[in-house]
């Protein structure tokens, strides 16, 4: 059962559409939805006790086995609600962590998710980390007499966090070497960024003819994939990276844990910001993506906005021209309208990319640099 509490903050999702998508992406099926208004969260139950009774009645009537809140609950609120409702209660943050945990494929991705999850759990006293006890086998973990279970759990989590951090650092050192090697090859790096489900992987696949996993679920991609892309107009190869999608209120632990993966975006020479223009929420999603980009220090990297899924737009909302400008806080940003699914607009996108590569390079390199390509000059393949 999905519950949303309108606290008068912007971006309240009255239909709980995104929470529903997140739940489905985690393999759950929403059976009931309930929203209510409150001026401020109740310290003990987040909602009032009357509302909590209402939630319980609807949960029982609909046969719900778990209650998911769209807003972040404090450990105490979560615990009290679970007692009150006699059902497991989780929030959006844990749901996102859960999806990341299910999706992580690479060694590094798994470590990053585990770290974020442990950091989240370490603030909660309810025991939800039984898998840890299995992993560590319990040897050497038994403290002196009188040590309470919770102290034991805390110590176990603390030690696991330390261990995972060390392993992560080792993996990341290797990655940095790889990144440096790529820099040495003078690659021009383009990263696909955007809200989750915008169509980044679909576009990546149609641009480089790869077969990266694309699916109608949130966070289908967690690991960065990079392929070479040939741009005929400038006669050169660039490297294109598909990255993890962003979402509003991305759990903080995840931003930290995924710093290395997100670093891919920071290291790019150009960002292709993919937008699902058929989504009624796309202006808000653009804003959220820009916010995360600023958070990871990528706000000054040149961007091209790619308005994807034009095939899903009603006839009266179809763009007048394939390439135009989008006003982002008073700054015009180049925008290309495409459909990664039908291939519409991809040629225009390649042309814009070529222009951008020339433009960014000429600002990056002095004109005496042999790699410098003057504006408008044709270069054979």
Ligand X SMILES: Nc1nc2c(ncn2[C@@H]2O[C@H](COP(=O)(O)OP(=O)(O)OP(=O)(O)O)[C@@H](O)[C@H]2O)c(=O)[nH]1
In the complex, the residues that contact ligand X under the rule CB under 6 A are 194, 196-202, 214-216, 218-221, 245, 308-309, 311-312, 339-341
Q: Which residue's structure tokens are 């030690």? A: 159
Cβ contacts of 34 within 8 Å, gap of 6 or more: 1, 2, 3, 4, 54, 55, 58
Closest separation in Å from C-beta 348 to ligand X:
14
Closest separation in Å from C-beta 189 to ligand X:
18
Regarding beta strands 2-6 and 67-69, do their DSSP bridges make them parallel or antiparallel, or are they unpaired?
parallel
Of these partners, ligand X, Mg ion, none, which one is at the site of residue 308 (CB under 5 to 8 Å by kind)? ligand X
Nearest to ligand X of 77, 308 (CB atom) = 308
The secondary structure element, H or E, covering residue 71 is none
Residue 201 binds to Mg ion (criterion: CB under 5 A):
yes
What CA–CA distance (Å, rounded) separates 219 from 24?
12
What CA–CA distance (Å, rounded) separates 277 from 281?
8
Helix (H, G, I), strand (E, B) or coil at 120: helix
Write the DSSP assignment of 302-347 as a string of letters: -EEEEEE-GGGS-GGGS-SSSEEEEEETTEEEEEEE--TTT-TTHH
Of these partners, Mg ion, ligand X, none, which one is at the site of residue 339 (CB under 5 to 8 Å by kind)? ligand X
Closest separation in Å from C-beta 18 to ligand X:
12
Count the alpha carbons within 13 Å of 109 in the hemisphere toward its beta carbon: 17
Nearest to Mg ion of 74, 217 (CB atom) = 217
Of these partners, Mg ion, ligand X, none, which one is at the site of residue 219 (CB under 5 to 8 Å by kind)? ligand X
Retrieve residue 10's tokens.
Answer: 């912007």
Query: How many residues form the binding site for Mg ion (CB under 5 A)?
Result: 4
Of these partners, Mg ion, ligand X, none, which one is at the site of residue 119 (CB under 5 to 8 Å by kind)? none
Other beta carbons within 10 angstroms of residue 150's beta carbon come to 11
Closest CA to 326 of 284, 283, 266: 283
Closest separation in Å from C-beta 199 to ligand X:
3
Q: Are 1 and 62 in contact (CB under 8 A)?
A: yes
Please list every residue from 171 through 200 that binds Mg ion, using CB under 5 A.
200
| Interface stretch with Mg ion, choices 11-19, 131-139, 166-174, 219-227 (CB under 5 A) | 219-227
Closest separation in Å from C-beta 341 to Mg ion:
14
Of these partners, Mg ion, ligand X, none, which one is at the site of residue 103 (CB under 5 to 8 Å by kind)? none
| Interface stretch with Mg ion, choices 138-146, 213-221, 251-259, 343-351 (CB under 5 A) | 213-221
Helix (H, G, I), strand (E, B) or coil at 162: helix
Burial class (CB in 10 A: 0-12, 13-18, 19+), 280: exposed
- Closest residue to ligand X using C-beta atoms: 245
Nearest to ligand X of 153, 276 (CB atom) = 276
Closest separation in Å from C-beta 225 to ligand X:
10
Q: Which residue's structure tokens are 């400038």? A: 234
Closest separation in Å from C-beta 334 to Mg ion:
23
Cβ contacts of 300 within 8 Å, gap of 6 or more: none
Nearest to ligand X of 129, 246 (CB atom) = 246
Closest separation in Å from C-beta 232 to ligand X:
22
- Closest residue to Mg ion using C-beta atoms: 221
Nearest to ligand X of 92, 200 (CB atom) = 200
Residue 220 binds to Mg ion (criterion: CB under 5 A):
yes
Number of residues that make up the chain? 381
Residue 221 binds to Mg ion (criterion: CB under 5 A):
yes
Interface positions with Mg ion (CB under 5 A): 200-201, 220-221
């Amino acid at each position: 059962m999905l519950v949303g509490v309108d606290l008068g903050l912007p971006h309240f999702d009255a239909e709980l559409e995104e929470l529903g998508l997140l739940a489905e992406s985690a393999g759950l099926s929403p059976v009931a939805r309930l929203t209510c208004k409150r001026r401020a969260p109740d310290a003990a139950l987040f909602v009032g006790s009357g509302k909590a009774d209402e939630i319980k009645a609807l949960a029982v009537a609909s046969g719900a086995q778990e209650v998911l809140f769209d807003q972040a609950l404090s450990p105490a609120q979560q615990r009290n609600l679970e007692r009150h409702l006699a059902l497991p209660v989780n929030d959006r943050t844990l749901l996102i962590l859960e999806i990341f945990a299910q999706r992580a494929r690479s060694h590094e991705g798994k470590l990053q998710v585990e770290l974020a999850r442990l950091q989240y759990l370490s603030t909660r006293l309810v025991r939800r980390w039984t898998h840890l006890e299995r992993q560590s086998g319990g040897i050497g973990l038994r403290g002196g007499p009188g040590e309470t279970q919770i102290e034991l759990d805390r110590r176990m989590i603390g030690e696991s966090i330390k261990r995972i951090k060390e392993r992560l650092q080792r993996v990341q050192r290797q990655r940095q070497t790889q990144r440096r090697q790529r820099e040495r090859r003078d690659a021009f790096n383009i990263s696909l960024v955007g809200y989750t489900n915008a169509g980044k992987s679909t576009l990546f696949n149609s641009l480089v003819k790869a077969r990266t996993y694309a699916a109608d679920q949130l966070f289908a991609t967690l690991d960065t994939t990079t392929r070479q892309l040939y741009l005929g107009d400038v006669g050169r190869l660039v490297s294109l990276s598909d990255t993890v999608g962003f979402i509003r209120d991305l759990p903080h632990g995840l931003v930290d844990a995924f710093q290395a993966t997100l670093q891919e975006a920071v290291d790019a020479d150009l960002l292709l910001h993919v937008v699902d223009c058929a989504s009624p929420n796309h202006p808000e999603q653009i804003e959220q993506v820009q916010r995360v980009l600023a958070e990871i220090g990528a706000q000054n990297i040149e961007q091209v906005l790619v308005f994807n899924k034009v095939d899903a737009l009603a006839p009266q909302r179809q763009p007048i021209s394939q390439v135009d400008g989008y006003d982002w806080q008073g700054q015009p940003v180049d925008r290309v309208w495409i459909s990664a699914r039908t291939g519409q607009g991809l040629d225009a996108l390649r042309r814009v990319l070529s222009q951008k590569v020339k433009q960014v390079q000429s600002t990056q390199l002095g004109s005496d640099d042999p790699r410098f390509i003057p504006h408008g000059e044709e270069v054979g393949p």
